[in-house]
Structure 1
């Protein structure tokens, strides 16, 4: 009786034949391998659970992979902001689109962590001491790069001068939105002078004049096509960032309820307040004005 199934032995033989046919390299003793290039020994050896809890491995990998995605996000945001400042539309749009996709990965990561139940988290929580995602220097740099400036948020990094210097640099630099408004001004749109040169460490204040500039762009998208596309890329990023924050809130509430966070914040109550922060206000209010 004929069957379409292949036995394990037959499958192995077929694989060997294909590898030989393709002349695949199998000996990496004298050249760089996949693991060498990616430094996988260091990456895969960086998980060191402190508790006997089975689920701590999930918790560690969730946060380590999120930090890797955030590293890439900062890489793209920095380059995109420079491209916007240089009127390099195509480059900035590609990078900003990638930032939105990275945020989608971070949103999905919360779905994996949400498989951890309250008893499972409680078994490992005492071992975390005061460590918390609230102390993530990379997350703080992302917030600052997107314009959510707050001097108090420098303090969690004061114990590490190297990290503090990096966070302070993001704190003192123009945000992506600041550079976007400068681009609008360079293209003849009326932007208030105090929105073009100001103390970049201060939170952004919405402006009727800025909304009017975006309104002109959105009313005539073909006349301002590149600026119109910039506006939509900014909307995409904030849309994705809101989802990231929301999934964070719901995952934390699902796992710990309304207990205080390990880093000393109110936990869910703090995270819910963060949901109300708007990064690019006129990008959203212009929808109502149209």
Structure 2
């Protein structure tokens, strides 16, 4: 099985400041009410007609659409978050931290939107969810490959989590590459070493496909960085930017847990997990462990 091919973007005439000024003069400053063609430029630019026809609920119940659309919203935000984190990683590799900080600021705003999706999902009552839950079959957000990209990119590498995607060749290949690529945190640690902090060779030369475990030399490096908390210490600012991202990820996972318990209690999940029991284990995971641990020493 392979994902459906991405449709080609529709052709849109480019505009300019001069053209926009001429249009505003022609409309008297009001909206353009008679665009040329059989569509509208907004529909064509955003593929709105395609987007709004991608909701295929299965049960015929009223409340399933809220669940369905929030799932799609999350996937779009995962994609955007990955886009920004990859940009941050490129800046870190090139020691251009101001560019990384810009990307991280956007990532945090995306994460806030992601956390707020649980507010919408939390309006679904147990009775409403049970009315369409069986129609999910074994579908589960655990199978989200864009979310798995995020986990791998941030350093939570678990090879077994590739297995659900073996039947989707292109997705499995992308995730395999992400598993073996250095994580963003691997590049942060390499930057600490390049800036003169002593990092053990075993960390710098580790297999990036293996799960990351906390290291004393990395914690010591962060301790040295945090000893100078002046606003012009860009490594200190980097540590805090990473903590902003890690903090929001913890909030996301916790809100997921609470929303699940609110709606289905302690029933098993649709994707084979124990439900809230599995999510409680996931909540305990922390990205960038030395940044959490060093706070005890400060």
Q: Same fold by TM (over 0.5)? A: yes
- Once the 2 structures are TM-superposed, how far is the Cα of residue 222 of structure 1 from its aligned partner? 3.4
Secondary structure of the 1:71 match is helix
The unaligned stretches of length 5 or more in structure 1 are 1-18
- Once the 2 structures are TM-superposed, how far is the Cα of residue 223 of structure 1 from its aligned partner? 9.2
Q: Distance in 2 between matches of 1:32 and 1:146?
A: 40
1:217 is matched with 225
Moved over 3 A (4+): none
Q: Distance in 2 between matches of 1:164 and 1:20?
A: 51
Correspondence 1:41-80 to 2 at 5 A: 41-80=49-88
> Is the 8 Å Cα contact of residues 217 and 224 (structure 1) preserved in structure 2?
no
Correspondence 1:215-254 to 2 at 5 A: 215-222=223-230, 225-254=233-262
Q: Which has the larger radius of gyration?
A: 1
Question: For each residue in 1:251-275, what CA deviation from the matched residue of structure 2 results, as whole angstroms up to 9, or x when unmatched?
Answer: 0111111111111111111111001
Secondary structure of the 1:248 match is helix
TM-score w.r.t. the length of structure 1 is 0.91
Secondary structure of the 1:174 match is coil
Instruction: Tell me which of 132, 135, 155 is aligned to 2:163.
Output: 155
Question: For each residue in 1:59-82, what CA deviation from the matched residue of structure 2 results, as whole angstroms up to 9, or x when unmatched?
Answer: 110100000000100101111111
Q: Distance in 2 between matches of 1:77 and 1:223?
A: 23
Q: Distance in 1 between matches of 2:202 and 2:40?
A: 53
- How many residues are paired up? 273
Question: For each residue in 1:31-74, what CA deviation from the matched residue of structure 2 results, as whole angstroms up to 9, or x when unmatched?
Answer: 86111100001111100111021111001101000000001001
- Once the 2 structures are TM-superposed, how far is the Cα of residue 169 of structure 1 from its aligned partner? 1.6
> Is the 8 Å Cα contact of residues 43 and 49 (structure 2) preserved in structure 1?
yes
- Once the 2 structures are TM-superposed, how far is the Cα of residue 224 of structure 1 from its aligned partner? 7.1
Q: Distance in 2 between matches of 1:215 and 1:22?
A: 57
1:27 is matched with 34
2:277 is matched with 269
Question: For each residue in 1:116-174, what CA deviation from the matched residue of structure 2 results, as whole angstroms up to 9, or x when unmatched?
Answer: 01111111011111111010000111111111111110011111111111111211111
> Is the 8 Å Cα contact of residues 245 and 275 (structure 1) preserved in structure 2?
yes
2:174 is matched with 166
- Once the 2 structures are TM-superposed, how far is the Cα of residue 29 of structure 1 from its aligned partner? 2.0
Q: Distance in 1 between matches of 2:27 and 2:295?
A: 60
1:38 is matched with 46
Correspondence 1:119-138 to 2 at 5 A: 119-138=127-146
> Is the 8 Å Cα contact of residues 147 and 175 (structure 1) preserved in structure 2?
yes
1:199 is matched with 207
Q: Distance in 2 between matches of 1:151 and 1:205?
A: 15
- Aligned Cα root-mean-square deviation (Å): 1.7
Q: Distance in 1 between matches of 2:45 and 2:232?
A: 44
- Once the 2 structures are TM-superposed, how far is the Cα of residue 204 of structure 1 from its aligned partner? 1.0
The verdict on how the C-alpha distance between 1:149 and 1:224 changes in structure 2, with shifts beyond 3 A counting, is farther
Q: Distance in 2 between matches of 1:156 and 1:24?
A: 48
Question: For each residue in 1:217-255, what CA deviation from the matched residue of structure 2 results, as whole angstroms up to 9, or x when unmatched?
Answer: 111133971111100001000000000000000001111
